[in-house]
Amino acid sequence: MNIRRVAATASKEWREIVRDRLFLALTFLVPTSLMLVVGYGLSLDVEDIPLAIVDRDGTNLSREYAHRFIDSRYFDFKGYALDRHSLPPLLEDNKVRAAIIIPENFQKELLAGRPVVVQTLIDGTLPFRAQTTKGYVLAMNTAFSSEMLAMFISKKRGIPLGQAARSLRPVKLEARYLYNQSMKSDWALAPRLIMVILMMTPPFYTALGIVREKERGSIYNIYSSTVSRLEFLVGKLIPYVGISSANAVILWLIATQLFGAPFKGSLLFFIPATLLYIICTTGLGLVVSVMVRTQVAAMVVTFIVTVIPSMLYSGVIVPISSLSETAQVTAHALPAMYYTNIIVGTFMKGVGLRELWTDVLVLAIYATVLLTLGYRMFHKRPNT
């Protein structure tokens, strides 16, 4: 491989990119825009759930019970409803997502030591949100019930209320969240978006850059030149690897400075691992470019092989262990999952090569296979 010819090919490709000012601007604007739009628009935090309450008892205990939900940051209280018949229109119009119906004789039954049934209506159109809402309701109801039971024990035995409350919990569970103590979804999602965007954009750039040569007919200049296949492909890929590397730096700054995601790992490990991932995804674009002949086809194929795997089979939204067996096999066959492990490890856990060497190795194998496949499929004398 002649380095001068590689440099000349890379220089020619860079001049073409710079000459197309719109394409050059989009190569930097698209990743940044995606990071900002998706980062601010996608959140796994379930808070400020619109809530309505029907209090058919109107006593001190029923109001105290209602205020457990009204004063919670997880619920956005929209007001009291007159009766249960006024709740369906509110739920249908999405004005509320949950409703609490406190029955008559709520206080009387509780003071008599009898259980009371409180009905909860939850909008189930979004299962994840509905399950989380149910968890909030159950937790607040359990806390209220424990306090009521402690009050009864305190009165019956003549002991302090605190002692009665402790007697109800012989085993006290204390949960400690590791790596993300504040449980902020931004800290978890922003770093993972780097993986998603770097899975999508480098293949697009590479595929369009090579297919554009085919559509313009300038690829025949390469066919008739002394530049070898390897020199041409390496020269074509260098500018796009450079642009994607610059985008990776920008995305890292947005994740850490704008979204506040902590970076606990080593840049000396993260930078080479990210560069390897970029080479891997660029190789994916190379394979696509030699398979199609038009830019439209290149965009469609690249979208299918990058966007869907990066979102569904990478662990960004659904953990890999929660996927079906077939989906888990698919996830392990794609590079997104392995770079997600690197992202999570370096940002949240502060681990490095010793713990993540297998993921780096798989990315290296994946990049080698893709680049080799692209090289084998590219011919200076195209099939007719």
Same domain, 206 and 328: yes
User: Is 236 part of a structural domain of the chain?
Assistant: yes
Same domain, 115 and 246: no
Q: How far is CA 234 from the centre of its chain?
A: 32
Structure tokens at 363: 């990315």
Q: How far is CA 171 from the centre of its chain?
A: 36
Same domain, 91 and 12: no
Where would I find the H helices in the chain? 3-19, 21-41, 60-70, 87-92, 106-111, 127-157, 161-167, 185-216, 219-223, 229-253, 267-291, 295-312, 325-332, 335-344, 353-377
Same domain, 222 and 299: yes
Let me know: does 277 contact 248? Beta carbons within 8 Å.
no
User: Is 177 part of a structural domain of the chain?
Assistant: no
The pLDDT of residue 54 is 92
Per the structure, the count of domains in the chain is 2
* Host domain of residue 81: 49-168
- 215-240 pLDDT, tens digit per residue, is 777 777 777 777 787 888 888 889 99
Nearest to 232 by CA among 64, 13, 85: 13
pTM of the model: 0.79
* Confidence check: pLDDT of 384 > 50: no
The pLDDT of residue 153 is 66
- Starting at the edge strand that comes first in sequence, how are the strands of the sheet with 98-102 ordered? 75-80, 49-55, 98-102, 119-122
Same domain, 367 and 273: yes
Q: Calculate mean pLDDT across residues 98-104.
A: 92
Q: Calculate mean pLDDT across residues 83-102.
A: 90
User: Is 384 part of a structural domain of the chain?
Assistant: no
The pLDDT of residue 50 is 93
Same domain, 228 and 372: yes
User: Is 382 part of a structural domain of the chain?
Assistant: no
* Confidence check: pLDDT of 195 > 60: yes
* Confidence check: pLDDT of 270 > 90: yes
Same domain, 321 and 306: yes
The pLDDT of residue 77 is 92
Return d(Cα 279, Cα 156) in angstroms, integer.
72
Least confident span in 8-17, 95-104, 223-232, 276-285: 223-232
Q: Calculate mean pLDDT across residues 136-151.
A: 83
Same domain, 24 and 109: no
Same domain, 39 and 53: no
Same domain, 296 and 363: yes
User: Is 176 part of a structural domain of the chain?
Assistant: no
The pLDDT of residue 193 is 92
Q: What percent of the chain has pLDDT over 70?
A: 92
Which of 115, 137, 168 is a domain's end point?
168
First to last CA, the chain: 28
Tell me which of 152 and 28 has the higher pLDDT.
Answer: 28
Let me know: does 120 contact 91? Beta carbons within 8 Å.
no
- 46-73 pLDDT, tens digit per residue, is 888 999 999 999 888 899 999 999 998 8
* Confidence check: pLDDT of 362 > 60: yes
User: Is 180 part of a structural domain of the chain?
Assistant: no
- 295-349 pLDDT, tens digit per residue, is 888 888 888 888 877 888 887 777 787 778 888 888 888 888 899 999 999 998 8
Same domain, 28 and 116: no
Same domain, 98 and 32: no
User: Is 383 part of a structural domain of the chain?
Assistant: no
Which of 137, 168, 199 is a domain's end point?
168
**Residue 157 sits in a domain of what CATH number?**
3.40.1710.10
User: Is 223 part of a structural domain of the chain?
Assistant: yes
Give me the torsion for CA of 82, 87, 92, 94, rounded to 10°: 70
Nearest to 277 by CA among 351, 193, 365, 378: 365
Return d(Cα 323, Cα 277) in angstroms, integer.
24
